[in-house]
Chain A
Amino acid sequence: MSDTSLESPLVQDAELGDYFALLKPRVMSLVVFTALAGLVAAPVQVHPYIAFVAILCIAVGAGASGALNMWWDADIDARMRRTAKRPIPAGKVAPSEALGLGLTLSGFSIVLLWLATNAMAAILLAFTIFFYAVIYSMWLKRATPQNIVIGGAAGAFPPVIGWVVATGSLSIEAALMFALIFMWTPPHFWALALFVRSDYGDAGVPMLTETHGRQATRRHILIYSLALAPVAVGIGFTSIGGPVYLAASLILNARFLWWALAVWRRDEAQAEADGYATEKRLFRISLSYLFFHFGALMVESLMRARDLGVALPW
């Protein structure tokens, strides 16, 4: 092997951390939290070790879909400042390695989840990976400004998988947890898109802010926030809800709607004048919104397990 091959500028020898970066660890942390919430909220107790393996499989499956996404999107990642330092465009990992890692981890996580829990949970995990890698990354992302809306479904599956790990079947509670993340994703991402000067347009990705304008994006944020509130509060009236969840949800949705309304009322001149302060506030609120909703569901479940839960009259 010559020195020139050692110092190839195209693909260097990757470190372990570069492979880990392919798995999108920040997305994995959200997946772990929501999957855990779905598992804890379910009315069936799972052995702690099996629960640990199940959450690990769901996290690795999510990471695998992240690696497949980076493999497919390497061309547009290289053209955008935010993503240009990712392992493939930075020349640290070869695209074929990312593809191999994604496919291998997908297979391992699905089979292990099946062996540890049940076939339905494994099928749902397989579908989630397929949805994110194929439906979202390969098809919708470059085809429609509604990419975030439909692609958000991929991020909405983890609590459903957690629920199915415990119960082995779907239910209205699982569907509502799915709907909560599905409806939350668009206002969350569009709030970010308003204050982050992205170069999606240069990369050929049709984001709503660029195809329909920023004012239309503000309107869309308000519409989705209005549609989100009844879904979120509605969970409180199911078997996994309760007074703690209902109180938290009412406060969180009132706050979310207040700031969505504030974003809708503003125009670009006002936003630029204060450095997009309101849009940034809505984005931060959207993060705590999801965290506290799923946190409240876990609190309700733990209270029921200790016979501290208060039965609502319905």
Chain B
Amino acid sequence: MVIRVEHPLHERRRGRNRGLGLILVGFVAIVFGLTVVKVLQLGDVSHLQAFDHSFRPGLIPIEEPLE
């Protein structure tokens, strides 16, 4: 038989845990939103691309032929 005894302490702790959970989720959402805004503020990010350990011909600047 399962004994279930609800004490006011359990209610308080449940409320506290839910509140803390919401605060943590809110914190993650705030940091995520901040990251999105900061990245968008960089504008065109293509200039930040680099070879990154492997050779990527697409990143070599095209040289204009001399006339």
Contact = CB atoms under 8 A, between A and B. Distances in A.
A47 B37 CA distance: 8
Interface string B2-38: 0000010100110110011000000100110110010
Nearest to B40: A47
Contacts of B54: none
Contact of A49 (B12, B27, B34): B34
B34 A50 contact: yes
A313 to B, nearest CB: 38
Interface string A104-118: 000010001001100
A53 interface: yes
Contacts of A56: 30
Contacts of B41: 47
Interface stretch (A9-17, A263-271, A281-289, A296-304): A9-17
Nearest to B19: A16
B34 A16 contact: no
A6 interface: yes
A241 B31 CA distance: 35
Nearest to B11: A15
A50 B37 contact: yes
Given A53-B34, A115-B34, A116-B34, A15 B15 contact: yes
Contacts of B19: 16
Given A47-B37, A49-B33, A15 B12 contact: yes
A14 B9 contact: no
Contacts of A50: 34, 37
Interface in A107-147: 108, 112, 115-116
Contact of A6 (B7, B16, B27, B31): B7
Nearest to B36: A49
Contact of A16 (B7, B16, B30, B33): B16
B37 A16 contact: no
A13 B30 contact: no
B9 A16 contact: no
A89 to B, nearest CB: 19
11 contacts: A6-B7, A13-B9, A13-B13, A13-B16, A14-B12, A16-B15, A16-B16, A16-B20, A49-B34, A56-B30, A115-B34
Given A15-B16, A50-B37, 14 more contacts: A6-B7, A13-B9, A13-B12, A14-B12, A14-B16, A16-B16, A16-B19, A16-B20, A49-B34, A49-B37, A53-B33, A108-B27, A112-B30, A116-B34
